[in-house]
Amino acid sequence: MPVHRALLLLTFILTALPVLAETVQLRRPGNATVIIFEYITLDEEAIMVKRLDSDAVLSYKWEDLDLDWVSKNNPKLWAERQQLLAEAKSLKKMSKKEAEVDPFAQGIAATDTKSMVKNLLISLQDGLKGMSLSTNRVEVVCSEFQLEENLFWLAFDELKQASLLSGKAEPSARTEVAVEETRDANSKTKVQGKSTTKTKVRTAASTAAEAAARKSPEGDSRPYNSLGYLRMLAEGGTRGKPVWMMLRRATADRETMMAMLERYAKLCGDLSVQPQAAASKAELVPLKKALENCAESLAKVNRENNAVEVRLQSDCRTLLALVLR
C-alpha cells in the first residue's frame, strides 16, 4: 500500500474516533452523591456543565456546591476559577483606585446654601426625554382632558425654551393665533336633518407641528430638563396643564425628577446640622422643605390622578423662587 494512502487511512480513522470531552466531578454539601459532567465553561459566579447521559445543559452556582471537595477533586478547574476571581478582584481594586482620583466620581460637596443651590441648578439641567410621541397619540391625550391641540403644541415648544437656563416661560406670541385657529376649526358643523353636531377637525397648524416634532429623533435626544418642567408647571393654566399632561405619560422623567429632588432635600438636611454650615441653616431648612413638597406634588402627577393638584403650581413656584434668585 502506498505510503500516502496509508497516511490518509490513518487520518480518517483518527477523525472518526470520538473526542474525549473534559469532565468534572461535582458534589453538593451534605450529599454524598458525586456526579460526573462534561465541562463547558465557568465564571466567578457559576459553572456550566452537560449531563453525560443526555444533551441537558445545567448551570450550578458555586455557593450551592461543596467547594472544598470540588477544589480537591478538580485541581485544574479550581485553578481556573481562582485565576478569574483574582482578575476580578484586581479590576475592582483598580476601579476603586481610579474613582478616588477621578474628580467626576468624587463630586463637589456643598458647604453652604450658595454652593448647594449651585449644585442643584446643575442637576436641574440634566437632560430628560419628555413624552414619547411614538406611544402616545396627541389628539387622544388632548381629547381626554378637553384641551385644544394647538395649545398642546405651543407648550411642547415652550417647554424646550423653558429648559434653557437663560430661557423663560414667556407667553408665546402665537397663542392668540392658535386659539383663533382652533375656534375656527371647531365652528365647522355637520348638519343631519334638524340636528347640528360639531365635528372636531385638526387644524393645519396642529398637523404641521406634529410632523415637525416627529422629525426630531427620539433615541438619545434629551431636549427637556427639570428646570423646564418646573417653570411651565409654575405657570399653571393653559400653559401648565399641557406639560402636566406630558409628565403624566413621561414616567422616566417624573421618577428622575423626584429622585433628584429627594436627594437634594436630604443633602440640605444633612448640611443644615453641620457646625460649619450654621450660618446657612436658616436658608437650608426652607430649601429642604420646598424640595420635599415639590417631590411630593410630582408623585401625584400620574395616570391614576385625573386632575391637577392645587399644590403643584405653588410648590413649583416656591422652589424656583429659592433657586433662581
Spans of all domains in the chain: 3-101, 111-323
Residue 169 CA: distances (Å) to CA of 48, 157, 204, 239: 59, 10, 25, 9
Q: Which of 179, 130, 181 shows the shortest CA–CA distance to 158?
A: 130
Q: Exposure of 49 by Cβ count < 10 A (0-12 exposed, 13-18 middle, 19+ buried)?
A: buried
What's residue 20's pLDDT?
Answer: 59
Secondary structure class of 59 (helix, strand, coil): strand
- Yes or no: say if 290 and 85 are a contact pair by the CB < 8 Å rule: no
Residue 95 CA: distances (Å) to CA of 43, 82, 83, 121: 20, 20, 18, 29
What's residue 143's pLDDT?
Answer: 87
State the Cα–Cα distance between residues 137 and 131, nearest whole angstrom. 10
C-beta atoms surrounding 308 within 10 Å? 20
- Yes or no: say if 279 and 293 are a contact pair by the CB < 8 Å rule: no
Residues 6 or more apart from 106 whose CB is under 8 A from it? 99, 100
State the Cα–Cα distance between residues 254 and 263, nearest whole angstrom. 14
Phi, psi of 44 (to 5 degrees): -65, -25
Taking only the tens of pLDDT, the chain with its 325 residues reads: 555 565 555 555 545 444 557 899 999 998 889 999 999 998 888 999 999 999 999 999 999 999 999 999 999 999 999 998 888 888 777 666 666 666 655 567 889 999 999 999 999 999 998 888 878 888 888 888 888 888 999 998 899 999 998 766 555 444 444 444 444 444 443 434 444 334 456 777 777 777 777 776 554 467 899 999 999 999 999 889 999 999 998 999 999 999 999 999 999 999 999 998 888 999 999 999 999 999 999 999 988 888 888 899 999 999 999 999 8
What's residue 21's pLDDT?
Answer: 74
End-to-end CA distance of the chain: 100
- Yes or no: say if 131 and 246 are a contact pair by the CB < 8 Å rule: yes
- Yes or no: say if 322 and 290 are a contact pair by the CB < 8 Å rule: yes
Phi, psi of 243 (to 5 degrees): -70, -35
- Yes or no: say if 248 and 301 are a contact pair by the CB < 8 Å rule: yes
State the Cα–Cα distance between residues 150 and 165, nearest whole angstrom. 26
CA 21 from chain centre, in angstroms, equals 45
What's residue 197's pLDDT?
Answer: 39
What's residue 26's pLDDT?
Answer: 95
Query: Torsion over CA of 207, 212, 218 and 220, rounded to 10 degrees?
Result: -160
What's residue 289's pLDDT?
Answer: 97
State the Cα–Cα distance between residues 264 and 319, nearest whole angstrom. 12
Ranges of H-type helices in the chain: 3-16, 67-73, 75-101, 103-106, 113-124, 138-144, 149-162, 175-186, 204-215, 226-235, 237-248, 251-272, 281-299, 310-323
- Yes or no: say if 264 and 116 are a contact pair by the CB < 8 Å rule: yes
Residues 6 or more apart from 238 whose CB is under 8 A from it? 147, 151
State the Cα–Cα distance between residues 30 and 46, nearest whole angstrom. 19
What's residue 181's pLDDT?
Answer: 46
Grid cell in block for residue 296: 411630593
Instruction: List the Cα angle 130/313/138 in 5-degree steps.
Output: 35
